[in-house]
Every structure is written in C-alpha cells, then in structure tokens.
Structure 1
Amino acid sequence: MNLITLAAPVSFSMASVLAVLLDVLNVPFGPFTYLASCFVTILAALAARTLWIRRYSDSRTAATCGVLGANGPVPLSTKLQRLWPLVVFAAVAIPAAIIAYRYVRGFGQPDNLSQTFDNVYHLNAIRHIAETQNGSSLTLGNLTEASAGFYPAAMHDLMALVFMLGGSSVMEVVNIGTVVIGAVIWPLSCIFLITRIVGNQATAILAAGVLSAGFSAFPYLMVAFGVLYPNHAAIAILPAALGLGIEALGLSPCKPSSIWPPLIGLAVVAPGLALAHPSAIVALIGFGAAPVLAALVRSWRLFRRRKTTARRLQIWLVFTVAYLAVALLVWVTIRPSLAAAPWTPFQSNARAIGEVLTSAPMGTTAAWVMMVLTVIGIYVCARRLGQFWWVLAMYAFGGALYLIVSSWALGDFRTFWTGVWYNDSFRLAALLPAVTLPLAVMGTQWLTWRLRALCDSLAARGKVNPQKLPPVIQPIAARLPSYTGVAAAVAAVLVLGAAAQGGTLSNVQQRLDTIFETKQDSYLLTTDETSMLAILPDLVPRTDVVVANPRTGGSLVYAVSNRKTLAPHIFGDRTPDEQYLLDHWAEAAYNNKVCPIVKELHAYWALDFGDFEVVPGDEPFIGLRDLSDGSAPGMRLEKSIGKVNLYRVTACD
C-alpha cells in the first residue's frame, strides 16, 4: 500500500523537477527522457540502498535503511487474515467507482471541456508543453516568450507526457487524468494519512476509503469550480505528504523501522506538491505545525519521566522554533499579489462555523452523516486529548482559515491568513476534507467498536447463557456465528459510506453535470464554436497563426485545433508586434505596419467568436472588432457556422 500510494506523488515530483532540469540543460522534455530519467533514478536509488546496507548492516541484519510504518497486513485473527486483501481492495475500489462515476457523468463525453475561463490556460498549457517539449515551471508563465515566468506545472507536465504518448485530444487526456487523480490518488492518499494517525486497522482503512468519496468540497469542488486542475492535483496528494510528516515526527502508532524512510519520502514528495500548486506546500506547513508542537510536548513529557535526555529535548525545541520561523517566512512569501486576490467574504461567522461542522462549505447541503461522525470523532479526541489534541488542532486550523476567508471583513488580518489562496473561499473549502476525514474515521471506529462489541456479546451469550436474553432475541443470538461482530462492523462502514452520498453532493453534482456541457449558449465554447474548431485544421495551414480573443474562448484554437494563436492565455504580456496585431489586425488594408508583422508571424487568420467574454473588462483586442460588421477591407470570410466566423487577410497577399 505504501509503495502504491506514494507512486503518484513521486511521479509528480519526478516529472516537474525533471522538466526544470531538462530546460536548464536544453534537453527536450518528453516520454523518452522521462522514462529514461526514471530508470536512471531507480538505479541510483538501488545503488545508494546497497551501499547503505553494506556500510551499516552486519551479516545478521538484512537492512537498516528501514521501511515505512503500516507496511504489512492488518493485525487480524488467523481466520480473518485472508480477508485483508479484500478490505484493501474495497477501501480503494469503492471510492474509485463512486468518484469516477460522478466525474464521468459530469463530463458527458470524453472530449468535453469545462466551460470556465481557467480552462483556456490549462488546456493550452498542456498543448504548449507537448509542442515545445519544455515543461519547466520556471518558464511556463503565460505561455508566451514575453510572459515567461513561474507557473506550477507538475499536473500539466504529467498530462502532456500522456498526450505525447498518443492522446487523441488534450481534452480527453485532461478528463482521464482528472478521473485518475480524483478517483484513485485521492482515496489512496487519504488511507495513507489515516493509517499514520490511528494505525493499520481494517475498519479505519475501509472507512477512510469509502468516506473520502463523500465530501462535496473535495475532490468534486475543484473540478466543478474554476476549473482548478492544479489545486485538484495538489490537494489529492496533500494527505500523503501530511502522513509522511506525521510519521517522521514519530506520532504514528505504526512506527517506521527508522526515521529515514518517512524523511526521504517527504523530501521526494514535497517538490511535486509544491510544483503542483505552491499553496498546497503552504497548507502542509500550516497543518504540520500542530504535529510538530505535539512532538515537542511528547519530548517534554518523556524528559519529565526521565525517559529521554535534556539534549534530546533541546533538539526538539530548536527544531520547533526553526520550523515555526520557516513556516512564518513561507507563509508571508509564497502568495500572489493582492491584484490577483479579489474575492470577498459572503456570509456570517455563524454560518461559516456551521458549514465547517457539517462538511457543507460554499452553501452546499449539510452532510448530516459526516457531521455526526465528525462530532463523535471530536468526542473521541477529547477523551484522549493527550494523544490526539493535534488532530483536533489541524481541524480547527483548517476551519479557522475557511471562517476567516468566507466571513471576516476585508483587511490585512484576513489577507495575512488567506492571501496564499487568493482570498478565495473555494480554494480553502477544498482543504477541509483533508483535516475532517481523520475525525470522521475516528467517529466511525467508535461506532463500529460498540456495534461489534454488542454483536459479539449477543453471539457469546446466545451460546453460553441464552436464558438471560429476552425471549425474542434468544433464537437469533443462538444462531449468530463468531464473526458476526466483524461482519456488522464492515456492514456499518459500508452503510455510512453509502449514506454519505446523499443530498450533500447534489449541488456540486448538478454543477458538474452542467459545467462540462456544450450548448448553443455555453459560457466558453458554444456548439458552433466547437464545430468551427473541429474543422479549422482542414482550413488553416499547420504553420500559420490564428488571431483570436482569448476572452471569448477563441484562443482554445491552440489546444483544440493545434494551431498557434497570439494570445494563448487571457492574461500575460505580448511582444510589441503581437500586441500591435491584437490592436490593428483588421487594418491591414490601410495600415502599412500591419502586413509586415502578419507575414513575419504568419498570422493570416482570425476567429470571430462574437463579443461575449468569460472575463469582461477593458478592450485589449480591438484589432478584431471590425470583423463582425464587415467593415474591415482586405478580409475574406473563409468559413461561417452560425454567428462564428473564420477570416483570412487578403490585403497582405
């Protein structure tokens, strides 16, 4: 399970870091270089492990480099041990089926796209990486040379690799990749985290899996809103990274054989998490503060009991102070400018607290099952406060962030805490399941423990002393097999998982069902615009460039039709020549400056998708506004579908 779970986070790190290194070395980024680099990395890791064993192991020790905790089968009875693979399979397969079904239902067709403005960038970025064979997060920027700069590209890199291996379209690759991230990586990551908090227990593993599919805030919200594919990928692997940190701090019930496996694992996973989206690494640091303080408290308690040395306590104290100092530095440094963080609060404090407690952020229907399990989980932690206070603290921290961003007044205090996430309530709502799930699982365990004890007691008394039972129950208790308690516990977990799929997910499912639908009045691409992009490769030569307004969806000609465009993203800088064409392209017949630039850039074509823009604002693309009324001379209408037009400039022939 450990290896399977960490395969995805490690792949994110491998792809994103490799893309940066290959760009520095001027080597193409593609499937061959990725697979070759993976092979070399594996050989290097095996060689390092061999040298480690030879240096630090004696003839009686197999290895001292160690393994992660919770690395074996669940401690079940001999009769039930053979059911362990079935438990793991169910814990992964059930949420995978549920989440995949919801996603596929929302997508409709494999090549449908999200009708949201962020998608202009994400789809074009994947095409850009595949086209240029450069996926460096340091230069991806806004997809033009003039706006080269940092943008977290881990998700785009992996999607581009799949596309380069033979994907039929960028949209299909993105949709399939999104299903894999949400339906497979997220449940595995959740299970990994839970085993680091409560141990390698069958009920906890099964509950973590089935309940991971029951939160509206994640994984569904990041696909239904935005669309925020990078956040979707980053948050999916966040629980695994958090679990590695908890294990490295020694708080996990299942201890690793040495501190090195979780430390190395965290060091390997962290780059992929940061380059999937930097806000996720900030969230990891924020959530990790409570476990770090818990490790310091544990060391203090051991010192008072004379079970550890003063030097060891001092080391933990120095580490904690350093961690908090670095956390503060990262917190105030890794954040966008206020100009990119326009979201405002929209509700009261009381409502925000209620949404956190009922796992119903952003106004969705209350998740009553999750609320009951969470409250019971809080009770369990309160009863064992010395052991689990830090689990409560992580939950409180996540809830406080959502409370501040969604209900507190605008100002420096709000921006300090939530500016990392653009002051956006949606992004912080998506973090809540990662810290709510541990409490919900602990609540599920509490219920199943009592149900199992009741069933076992009935079965035992039915065979040994049935006369003390009510007459109605006696014949039933006498027939109960010895495994009744286990069966009842498993059934209870499955019932709770099914109940969690109730009304709480209806709102987000409804948005999923509509946001990927292509209609005549769709927000980003209408049916006519989609039809135009489908036939455009037959009309426009491969070497030519299409001028289009990205705010109308026209720039998706790059991702969908594989034809370059001057403005592949709604935002970003352009070269002076590119900007001049965006301002004056339709003036080619009478503006002497236009045609030389058209010929140099091969920008002979223009798409007119009308005047509806997904992000209305100032008019930076005025060079196309004379096309729709036919007032621009020197232009030929090459193709028209409804109100969608494709023009070619003839004045420059």
Structure 2
Amino acid sequence: MSLNDSYGLVILAGLANILMIWGPGLILGHGTGLRGWPLTATAPLLGYAVAGLCGPLTTWLGIPWGAWTYCGSTLVLAVLAYLLRRLWRGRDEPLGSAARWQRRDHRIAIAGVAIASVAGALIIALGTGGLTHLPQDWDAPFHANGIRYIADTGDGSFTGMGMINWYETGGTFYPNAYHLVAATVYNITGAPITIVMNAQMALLPAMLALALLGLLHRFRVRALTCSFTVLVAVSSVSVIYDQLWRGPLTPFEIASILSLAFVLLAVMVLDERRIGTGAALVLAAVGLLTLQPSGLFTAVLYLLPILLGRWLKIPRRTWRELGILATAGVASIVISLPFISGLLSSASEAPGITWDKHFPFSQSVGSLLTYQFLSEHPQIWLAIPLWIGLIRFKNLRDARWILGGSLIFACLFILTMSYNGSTLVVALSRPWWNDQYRLLALAVLPLSLVAGHGLTETGTAIAALLRKVNALRRAAFAIAFSVVFLAFFVLTKGFYHSVNAAAIAFRYGNGPTVSNLEYQAMEHLRSVVRPNEKVMNDRYDGSAWMYAISGAHPVAGHFSDNQVGAAPSLLMDHFDEYDADARVRSAVRQLNVKYLMVEKGFVRNTNQRAHGLRHLDRVRELHPIYHNRDATIYRIEDGRHGT
C-alpha cells in the first residue's frame, strides 16, 4: 500500500466514522425532540446506544449486523421515539431552560469547538503516525480482532467478538457498542483495522468538546468560558492522550467523555420533564453500559453533586426528581437486562487488581494542582489558569456543582495512588480497575472548567483595564480575549501538542509488539491459510494480531490466557512435543491447526517464548514457507493429522 493510498484511506475512514457515530445519533436525537447544542452533544452517545442495543438483538433475531442493519435500527428507534412524544403530547411540564446566547456567543462556542476538535485530532495523528501506525499495547489486538470478527460474520452478540481467543468456551462477554460501530466503518471503507481504530480515536476531542459545551451551556456558563474550557481539556495530557497508549483504552475513553452527555440529559429531564428527553436519557444509559459499564458509574458520580446542589437550593423538588430518575433507571434496567446478566456473570469471574503505589499523599495532591502527571515538568500554563479559576470560583455560580465530580475522583485518585494496598480502596475503585491513571483523567476532566474560567476571568480583567483608554474602549473585549487566546496558544506551544503526541507515540510504531516486518508476515498468511484453518502462535508475541490483519485465525487471539480452554493451553505448553505426545497431535487435529508462526516482538519486555515453542527443532514435520528477519511461518506437514 502506497503512502497516498494510506492517507486516502485515513480520510475515508475518518469521514465514515463521523457518519456512523453522529449520523444515527442525530436522527434518533431528533426523534426524541432534542435540538441545538444538546442534540450535537448527545448524538455520539445515542449512536452508540443504537448499536449496543440493537446489535445483540438483531443477531438474536437472525439478522446479521452491518451498516444497513445499523441504519434500519436507527430509523425504527427514531420512529418509536417520535410516536411516544405524540402519544404523550400535553403531559410534558417545561420548567427550565439553558442559557440564551446571542449570535456572537454561538460563534465563539463554535470557534472553540472547531479549534479544540482539529487541534486534538492533529495531536492524535502526530502520535499515531498520521493515524496509520499500529497500537502496540495490551488491549489493541482484542479490540481489533473483535471489530474484524463482527464485520466478517455479522455476529453482534455480547459474546461473539471474543470468539477469536475464547472459541473453545463459546466466546466471552464484553461490551461491544464501540466494536459494532467500528465494524460498519470497516465494511464500508475496507480500510485496515488499525486505520479504522485510529480514525475513531481522532474524533475523541470533538466528542469531548461538544459534550462539555452542551453541559456548560445548560448551566448558563459564558460562551467564552465554554470555549476556553474545551481548549484546556484537549491540551491536558491526562484527559485523552494518556489513555490512548495504555491499551488503547478507547471504549473507556469514549464512555468517560460521553458520561458528560448523560449528565446533560439527566439535568434536562429534571428541568423540562419531557418524555422525549426521558427516552433519550434511558437510551444514553444503555449506550454507556454497552460502551464500557464504568462510564455509567462515572456519570452517576458526576451527577450526584449536581443533584445535591439542586436539592439544597430548592428542597421541595427532591422527592419528585428522585422519582423521575428512579423511573428512568428502572426503564434502563429493563431494556438492558440481558446485558446486565452477562455483566454480572463476567464481573464475578474477574479478579480485583492492585497496582503499585506511586506517590505519597502530598505529591498526589500536588500533581493535580500542577498538571504534572507523566513528565518531569508540570503543564504550568494549564495550572496557572486553574489557580486563577479557583480564586474566582464563586463566579461560576450553579456550575460550581459540576466540580463536585472532580473532587470525588480526585479523592479516589489520591487513595489509589497513595493507599492502594487497602481492601477498602480496591473495593471503591474497582469499577475503574483500581487504575490511578483512569481516575486521574476523570478528576482532571471537570477541572478543565475551572482553568477555562480562569482564562475568562483574566480576559475580563484585561478588558476592564483597556476600557479605561478611550481609544480602545469599543475594541477592549476583542483585544483582551484575542490576547488571552494567543498567549495561551503560544505559552502552551500549540496546546502542548509535542508532549501530548509523545505520550501516545510511546506505544505506537515499529514494535515492540508488532514490527513492520512482522506485519508483512501476517499479511502473507492471507494467501496461504484457508477458512476454518488455524495458525499456532505464541500468546505473548504480536501474532495475536493476525486475524485483524489477514483474516487468519490464530490459536491465541489475545494475550490473556484466562479460561481459553484445554486444547489451546496444552499447545502453548507442549506443542514442541508433537512427535512424542498423542495429546498434542489430538489437539492439533481438534483445532485444525495447519500452520505455525513465531515472531520476535513481545507485548511486554518481561515475556519469554512460550514453553511449547522453545524447541521447534524437535518437530520433524515443520517446514518453513516464509521468513524475514522478525518472523517465520511454517506449514505442518504430517499425514497423521490429515495434511
């Protein structure tokens, strides 16, 4: 594939991702009665809700998942939402509204969203080699193989995408809304899975900017503060970029960002009491569950302080609003019962994780206040606006309650960073895998509002000084905020693009898990491996990627060996005893293994070659058919198992 072809596919995949993420959500959101900023802010979450709800349902009905199924499901749900609103007409009780912005305010907000979306996408592109490099970390082949499997088979069930690794046990439960949407993009464009995944990641800043803007608009925050807030959010390394080399944790990141859209819908339901918005809230809960269940936990903790603020201000509405939210919760549970059943079963089997302690208490607090998380130096030009915003905190008025969620996650971050040996800490943080860096991202995200507010307050102070000069009085506002924006851009050296891109690039590129030569070897499998044949491979080298890259089914389709079945485990430990062990030959016949692939790269530098692949010279009927410096492919030619 030429460089021009690669970038053409990147553009095509990017456009297709925009269409498949926002398109269904805009149609469904319009059907529920959403308009304006709330519609654009919540559209991605509603789009994922359509996929997450209807993918398993259509598979159960015998309808394969694909772009047409996705579109048809969207239209059905949009019509049902519209009919529900028609039947309920006259019972809605509009009680509140968002800020009434002037035309200039909307232009400022649009400019902020556009700059943040483009800047964030460019940072991600820089970190991923123009969105073409392969992610090298733990979660990547699982997501990539799952996307390819759904696209190839149309199986949108909760367990289907796990069939590449857990085929012996009938798959494994996993939330698949992200993968269902990506599978439609893959089918439409034919772009490599890596480009499909990276192009979807490049839209994270746009999702974040719109979700933040929609929520802040509801709380009557100034348009300038909204714009500065989204610029701060896409400049912070921990909010988006740190999660993209770890894994990448794209489903978690999408769910975390779109939890803000859920909070927006919840506040709208309580303010307006419209049945259409209530239906959108129920679907949003389903969307978060099927993207990544931790996203719903995040949304609830972001929402709780906001509810507390509402009820302290007007206590008499507490019980009625609790009833509204409880009704929406029950409806969400009923719709999601099959998913919740699988989730509970999966959660009961998952062990708790305890990470190493990193910082003492004081250093954990200091890291939050100075934006110093991953580098030797703090992101000081985000920290200074944060300090100014904290000094002028009271001017945020009702929007101050949004920061309650930041306080909750900051406490969890500090606990896991400083006291992670505690059983209580592990239990409290389990929905987020007890992971300090995920909790850090969730704490820093709402803090962006305080830093954005600090920039606005700085601009306001400068404008007040300029108005004292008669010649500058009329242009004071424009001059002041142009100066603040340009100063922020220059001092952060382009929204800290080099720091943020470097954080992503740490696990993207030519190795260590999959080198360019190993990628070429896996592409070669496409021409030799027939359907239903499997390729023996090492679980911890990069060959787990082979299905996503070539369609060839590996014995080990992911780095995890938990509950993969007896035959794959036996081969991983004893394949090189093939000539002497009848059990090994039986497992090879059972799995229909015809080829073997070994690579040099491993997912972790502590990994070593699987025990069963250390003495391949013992296997007489292994014949090399492809070799380069980093990978070798063998054909197994033994009449005793039918070759």
Q: TM-score category by the smaller chain?
A: 0.7 to 0.9
Give the aligned partner of residue 601 of structure 1. Answer: 591
Q: Give the whole-Å Cα distance in 2 for the aligned partners of 1:598 and 1:205.
A: 60
Give the aligned partner of residue 210 of structure 2. Answer: 188
SS in 1 for 2:219: helix
Does residue 120 of the first structure (1) align with residue 141 of the second (2)? yes
Q: 1:449-505 CA deviation, whole Å, 9 max, x = no partner?
A: 3333333343xxx2xxxxxxxxxxxxxx2xx36243244235424533553456966
Q: Give the whole-Å Cα distance in 1 for the aligned partners of 2:161 and 2:458.
A: 50
Give the aligned partner of residue 540 of structure 1. Answer: 529
Gaps of 5+ in 2: 1-36, 330-339
Give the aligned partner of residue 195 of structure 2. Answer: 172
SS in 2 for 1:208: helix
User: 1:33 Cα shift?
Assistant: 0.9
Which amino acid in the other structure matches residue 513 of structure 1? A
Number of residue equivalences: 589
Shift in CA distance, 87/611, structure 1 to aligned 2, threshold 3 Å: closer
The answer to whether the Cα contact below 8 Å between 2:256 and 2:298 also exists between their aligned partners in 1 is no
The answer to whether the Cα contact below 8 Å between 1:360 and 1:504 also exists between their aligned partners in 2 is no
Does residue 21 of the first structure (1) align with residue 21 of the second (2)? no
Give the aligned partner of residue 253 of structure 1. Answer: none
Does residue 245 of the first structure (1) align with residue 266 of the second (2)? yes
SS in 2 for 1:290: helix
* 1:407 alignment partner, one of 411, 418, 424: 418
User: 1:14 Cα shift?
Assistant: 0.8
Which amino acid in the other structure matches residue 369 of structure 1? W
Give the aligned partner of residue 41 of structure 1. Answer: 77
Q: 1:176-203 CA deviation, whole Å, 9 max, x = no partner?
A: 11112x232121112112223343x321
Which amino acid in the other structure matches residue 401 of structure 1? L
Q: Give the whole-Å Cα distance in 2 for the aligned partners of 1:448 and 1:373.
A: 11
The answer to whether the Cα contact below 8 Å between 2:49 and 2:283 also exists between their aligned partners in 1 is yes
User: 1:618 Cα shift?
Assistant: 9.1
Which amino acid in the other structure matches residue 188 of structure 1? L
Q: Give the whole-Å Cα distance in 1 for the aligned partners of 2:493 and 2:263.
A: 26
Shift in CA distance, 298/611, structure 1 to aligned 2, threshold 3 Å: closer
Q: Give the whole-Å Cα distance in 2 for the aligned partners of 1:9 and 1:151.
A: 18
* 1:648 alignment partner, one of 612, 631, 635: 635
Which amino acid in the other structure matches residue 509 of structure 1? A
Q: Give the whole-Å Cα distance in 2 for the aligned partners of 1:95 and 1:346.
A: 32
Shift in CA distance, 26/67, structure 1 to aligned 2, threshold 3 Å: farther
Shift in CA distance, 335/113, structure 1 to aligned 2, threshold 3 Å: same
Gaps of 5+ in 1: 58-63, 76-80, 251-255, 301-307, 325-329, 463-476
The answer to whether the Cα contact below 8 Å between 2:135 and 2:194 also exists between their aligned partners in 1 is no
Which amino acid in the other structure matches residue 4 of structure 1? T
Q: Give the whole-Å Cα distance in 2 for the aligned partners of 1:616 and 1:129.
A: 32
Matching of residues 435-514 of structure 1 within 5 Å: 435-458=446-469, 462=470, 477=471, 480=472, 482-501=474-493, 506-514=498-506
SS in 2 for 1:4: helix
Give the aligned partner of residue 298 of structure 2. Answer: 283
The answer to whether the Cα contact below 8 Å between 2:420 and 2:426 also exists between their aligned partners in 1 is no
SS in 2 for 1:415: helix
Q: 1:543-587 CA deviation, whole Å, 9 max, x = no partner?
A: 421111121111211111111112212224334344444444444
Q: Give the whole-Å Cα distance in 2 for the aligned partners of 1:220 and 1:384.
A: 28
Shift in CA distance, 409/223, structure 1 to aligned 2, threshold 3 Å: closer
Q: 1:211-253 CA deviation, whole Å, 9 max, x = no partner?
A: 2211110211111223212112212212222233344444xxx
SS in 2 for 1:115: coil
Which amino acid in the other structure matches residue 2 of structure 1? P
Aligned identity (percent) is: 20
SS in 2 for 1:168: coil
Does residue 429 of the first structure (1) align with residue 465 of the second (2)? no
The answer to whether the Cα contact below 8 Å between 1:299 and 1:316 also exists between their aligned partners in 2 is no
SS in 2 for 1:431: helix
* 2:309 alignment partner, one of 253, 269, 294: 294
User: 1:110 Cα shift?
Assistant: 3.9
* 1:223 alignment partner, one of 244, 247, 269: 244
The answer to whether the Cα contact below 8 Å between 1:364 and 1:507 also exists between their aligned partners in 2 is no
Q: Give the whole-Å Cα distance in 2 for the aligned partners of 1:33 and 1:389.
A: 43
Q: Give the whole-Å Cα distance in 2 for the aligned partners of 1:161 and 1:117.
A: 24
Q: Give the whole-Å Cα distance in 2 for the aligned partners of 1:547 and 1:554.
A: 9
Q: Give the whole-Å Cα distance in 1 for the aligned partners of 2:328 and 2:309.
A: 13
* 2:123 alignment partner, one of 77, 84, 102: 102
Shift in CA distance, 444/155, structure 1 to aligned 2, threshold 3 Å: same
Give the aligned partner of residue 417 of structure 1. Answer: 428
SS in 1 for 2:615: coil
User: 1:8 Cα shift?
Assistant: 0.7
The answer to whether the Cα contact below 8 Å between 1:211 and 1:500 also exists between their aligned partners in 2 is no
Give the aligned partner of residue 568 of structure 1. Answer: 557
Q: Give the whole-Å Cα distance in 2 for the aligned partners of 1:637 and 1:97.
A: 47
Q: Give the whole-Å Cα distance in 1 for the aligned partners of 2:95 and 2:60.
A: 34
Q: 1:89-135 CA deviation, whole Å, 9 max, x = no partner?
A: 31122112211111111111543211112212121111122223123
Shift in CA distance, 137/388, structure 1 to aligned 2, threshold 3 Å: same
Q: 1:286-338 CA deviation, whole Å, 9 max, x = no partner?
A: 222211222221223xxxxxxx6xxx4554688899999xxxxx9x9896877
Question: Whose Rg is larger?
Answer: 1
Shift in CA distance, 299/129, structure 1 to aligned 2, threshold 3 Å: same
Q: 1:44-69 CA deviation, whole Å, 9 max, x = no partner?
A: 2222333333xx28xxxxxx586994
The answer to whether the Cα contact below 8 Å between 1:113 and 1:171 also exists between their aligned partners in 2 is yes
Matching of residues 610-649 of structure 1 within 5 Å: 610=600, 612=602, 614=604, 616=606, 621-627=610-616, 630-649=617-636
Q: 1:587-632 CA deviation, whole Å, 9 max, x = no partner?
A: 444444444543453310010114845275698x5333322xx231
Q: Give the whole-Å Cα distance in 1 for the aligned partners of 2:95 and 2:588.
A: 61
User: 1:439 Cα shift?
Assistant: 1.5
The answer to whether the Cα contact below 8 Å between 2:534 and 2:592 also exists between their aligned partners in 1 is yes
Matching of residues 59-70 of structure 1 within 5 Å: 69-70=97-98
Shift in CA distance, 66/139, structure 1 to aligned 2, threshold 3 Å: farther
Matching of residues 318-357 of structure 1 within 5 Å: 339-357=351-369
Which amino acid in the other structure matches residue 178 of structure 2? M
SS in 2 for 1:430: helix
Shift in CA distance, 542/136, structure 1 to aligned 2, threshold 3 Å: closer
SS in 2 for 1:607: strand
The answer to whether the Cα contact below 8 Å between 1:589 and 1:651 also exists between their aligned partners in 2 is no
Q: Give the whole-Å Cα distance in 2 for the aligned partners of 1:25 and 1:67.
A: 41
Q: TM-score, normalised by structure 1?
A: 0.82
Give the aligned partner of residue 25 of structure 2. Answer: none
User: 1:526 Cα shift?
Assistant: 2.0
Q: Give the whole-Å Cα distance in 1 for the aligned partners of 2:46 and 2:390.
A: 33
Give the aligned partner of residue 469 of structure 1. Answer: none
Q: Which moved more, 1:334-343 or 1:537-546?
A: 334-343
Shift in CA distance, 121/241, structure 1 to aligned 2, threshold 3 Å: same
User: 1:37 Cα shift?
Assistant: 1.0
SS in 1 for 2:202: helix
Which amino acid in the other structure matches residue 477 of structure 2? G
Q: Which moved more, 1:227-236 or 1:557-566?
A: 227-236
Give the aligned partner of residue 545 of structure 2. Answer: 556
Q: Give the whole-Å Cα distance in 2 for the aligned partners of 1:155 and 1:319.
A: 29
Give the aligned partner of residue 148 of structure 1. Answer: 171
The answer to whether the Cα contact below 8 Å between 1:610 and 1:644 also exists between their aligned partners in 2 is yes
Q: Give the whole-Å Cα distance in 1 for the aligned partners of 2:232 and 2:495.
A: 15
Q: TM-score, normalised by structure 2?
A: 0.83
Which amino acid in the other structure matches residue 567 of structure 1? A
Shift in CA distance, 539/262, structure 1 to aligned 2, threshold 3 Å: same
Q: Give the whole-Å Cα distance in 1 for the aligned partners of 2:297 and 2:141.
A: 26
SS in 1 for 2:596: strand
* 1:234 alignment partner, one of 231, 243, 255: 255
Shift in CA distance, 140/185, structure 1 to aligned 2, threshold 3 Å: same
Shift in CA distance, 244/169, structure 1 to aligned 2, threshold 3 Å: same
